[in-house]
Amino acid sequence: MRAFSELFENLDTTTSTNEKLAALTRYFRAAEPSDAAWAAYFLSGRRLKRLIGGAMLRRWLLEETGLPEWLLEETYAEVGDLAETVALLVDNVQGHVQEDVPLEEWIERLLNLRDLSDVQQREQVARWWHELDARGCFLLNKLLTGELRVGVSAGLVERALAQVTGHSRPVIAHRLMGTWQPSASFWRFLHSEADAAGDRTRPYPFCLASPLEANPESLGIPSDWLIEWKWDGIRAQIIRRAGSVHIWSRGEELMTDRFPELVEQALQLPPDTVIDGEIVAWREGRVRPFGELQQRIGRKKLNAKILADTPVHIIAYDLLEQSGEDIRSLPISDRRQRLEAMLTDRPWATLSPQIKDASWQELKQHRDASRSRCVEGLMLKRLDSAYGSGRQRGTWWKWKIDPYSFDGVLMYAQPGRGRRANLLTDYTFAVRDGETLVPVAKAYSGLTDEEISRVDRWIRQNTIERFGPVRSVKPQLVFEIAFEAINESKRHKSGVAVRFPRIARWRIDKPASEANTIDDLRGLLRVGPAESQGEASANAG
């Protein structure tokens, strides 16, 4: 693991992209095929299923260090990373030189832990803690908890692998999609000639839109664009091969088993077809809110009742492969025509409707009415655009509806994780409920670094009480919190749960007495699909 550990160190100790790229190619060229495959696995953001839980590691660490539990918790809050906390607290046995074990063998050792009893696991892991140097100990814990994140983008890993294998980046990106078993044979597959059989069941890299922040008028005339609703479901590729169907989510998860009825329908497609579309909850020819789909995905086992209660459907919007031919480089106007023809022959899915002949002004009104249609806004795709790999700028835009928002009072704060370790950046916000405050949302992101350090200082000076790393503060600071949706919730004290809350801005101009109330939020619950008319803020103005 020494070479991998050095690679990690090299990536972690530079902010220069070129240096990171050089370190990656150096490693891939020198490593054994099986180690290189494992490194590619971790570097592309994949992880081992968690072998040992965080709570277990903490207990073992308590026993190893003999520190009081509260002190360990404070230290953990300071460090902001459990794997690193262990590496900083455990003594490395002086003078012990660990033999260099290949990465693959380390993974095997870790997987073997599963067959051991708790006591044996603890003994084994504690021994490694003492034997490895601090960096090795840190990596070991990251692998154990399945949290190894390396500071490189997927694109950079693709570039490095493209250099090492001599393939183009799109070929590499395609081969890294989906699930795969890291091994010497996978490494050979990465190097193999194009059109290898291994490519056949993998999804293509998804073409992703960028958020539209500019005025849509800056995009020219609407008739240059293919304009569709932005559906609120699960984006997926449906791969139809002879005798089989594979459904991959945008998160590169194989979801074929989750949607048996869709597999049945997709079998009607001609073989060697790949379609990009949205899986949505569906009833009486209409899309249902995302929450319904979520409930179905949450179920471990599907039965007839669930299938009947939450029917799903595919809204198809792109055709990537036809009769075995990769047509991603054709303009979307062409691909769309072919998709239309295909669906006319066998109407197994709904063609994503196109909004035609509308001015930007009319489109803006459509967008504002998104919530009544259970959609998130509009998608704008240039008619001449190819199906690119990854995030696009200039050719594909998502023009999302403005989020909901409320003004909340900062009530609790605790230190962040990772690069926000030791800074109080994880906040809980409350709204007014008569004379008291009731917490409704936690939010971590949205402030600038400068604002974060100002709020951090304010919190330290205005702490009322401390509960371990959590502080309650004087109810004075008001922040505007943006969020995507609101639902009733029995699990929350406030009775409501908001989806994806984040800080929109610091309302320095507002005292806590002017924050929103719980009734303002409850009022939004009623703004269901049928009634909402775009106005969707708890704010008075």
Partner 1 sequence: MLITATEKGLHCPAGDFYIDPWLPVPRAVLTHAHGDHARAGSEQYFAECSSEGVLRQRLGAELSLVTKRYGERFQLGAAEVSLHAAGHVLGSAQIRVRVDNETWVVTGDYKRAPDPTCAPFEPVVCDVLISEATFALPCYRWPETREVIAEIWRWWQSNREQSRASVLFCYAFGKAQRVLAELMAHTSESVFLHGAVLPLVEEYRRAGIAMLPAEPVVREKRADYRGALIIAPPSAAGTPWMRRFADASTGFCSGWMRIRGARRRRGYDRGFVLSDHADWPALIHTVAESHAKKILLTHGYSDALVRFLREQGVDAAALRTAYGEEE
442-455 burial, b for 16+ CB within 10 Å, e for fewer? ebeebbeeeebeeb
| Interactions with partner 1, residue window 195-224 (CB under 8 A) | none
DSSP code of 527? -
Which residue, 89 or 302, is less far from partner 1 as judged by CB?
89
Q: d(Cα 20, Cα 354) in Å, to the nearest integer?
A: 43
The reply to whether 358 sits near partner 1 by the rule CB under 8 A is no
**Part in contact with partner 1 (CB under 8 A); list of ranges 117-125, 374-382, 419-427, 515-523:** 419-427
CA distance 51 to 53: 7
58 makes contact with partner 1 (CB under 8 A): no
For partner 1, the closer CB: 114 or 466? 466
Does residue 74 touch partner 1 according to CB under 8 A? yes
For position 84 contacting partner 1 by CB under 8 A, the verdict is: yes
- Residue identified by tokens 């099986």 is 34
Q: Is 381 strand, coil or helix?
A: strand
The alpha carbon of 405 is separated from its chain's Cα centroid by a whole number of angstroms, namely: 22
Smallest gap from residue 70 Cβ to partner 1 (A): 7
Q: Are 143 and 4 in contact (CB under 8 A)?
A: no
Q: Which of 479, 425, 414 is nearest to 74 (CA)?
A: 414
| Closer residue to partner 1, CB minimum distance, 84 or 426 | 84
Window 5 to 24, contacts with partner 1 (CB under 8 A): 12-16
The answer to whether 408 and 423 are in contact (CB under 8 A) is no
Segment interacting with partner 1, rule: CB under 8 A, options 23-31, 103-111, 379-387, 415-423? 415-423
Which residue in this structure is represented by tokens 């050792």? 109
Judged by CB under 8 A, the residue of 299, 419, 457, 493 near partner 1 is 419
| Footprint on residues 88-127 left by partner 1 (CB under 8 A) | 88-89
The least CB distance from residue 54 to partner 1, in Å, is 17
| Identified binder of partner 1 from the candidate list 56, 219, 307, 421, rule CB under 8 A | 421
What single DSSP character describes residue 435? T
Residue 68 binding partner 1, by CB under 8 A: yes
65 lines the binding site for partner 1 (CB under 8 A): yes
Query: In angstroms, what is the minimal distance from the CB of 81 to partner 1?
Result: 7
d(CA 481, CA 506): 9
Q: How far apart are CA 222 and CA 33, in angstroms?
A: 51
Q: Is 81 in the site for partner 1 (CB under 8 A)?
A: yes
Q: Choose between 152 and 227: whose C-beta lies nearer to partner 1.
A: 152
- What's the CA gap between 531 and 536, in Å, rounded? 11
Binding residues for partner 1, total number by CB under 8 A: 28
Q: Which is nearer to partner 1, 235 or 420 (CB)?
A: 420
Please tell me whether residue 472 binds partner 1 under the rule CB under 8 A.
no
Which residues, other chains included, contact 94 with Cβ-Cβ below 8 Å and sequence gap of 6+?
Answer: none
Residue 242 DSSP one-character state: T
Which of 65/165 has CB closer to partner 1? 65
Quote the DSSP letter at residue 199.
G
Write the secondary structure of 261-291 as one string of H (helix), E (strand) and C (coil). HHHHHHCCCCCCEEEEEEEEEEECCEECCHH
Interaction of residue 423 with partner 1, rule CB under 8 A: yes
* Contact flag: residue 426 with partner 1 (CB under 8 A): no
Cα distances from 460 to residues 426, 430, 464, 470, in angstroms, run 14, 19, 9, 11
Give least dist CB 6 to partner 1, A: 13
**Does position 456 bind partner 1 by CB under 8 A?**
no
Query: Which residue in 418, 467, 509, 513 binds partner 1 (CB under 8 A)?
Result: 418
Positions touching partner 1 (CB under 8 A) are 12-16, 65, 67-68, 70-71, 74-75, 78-81, 84-85, 88-89, 151, 417-423
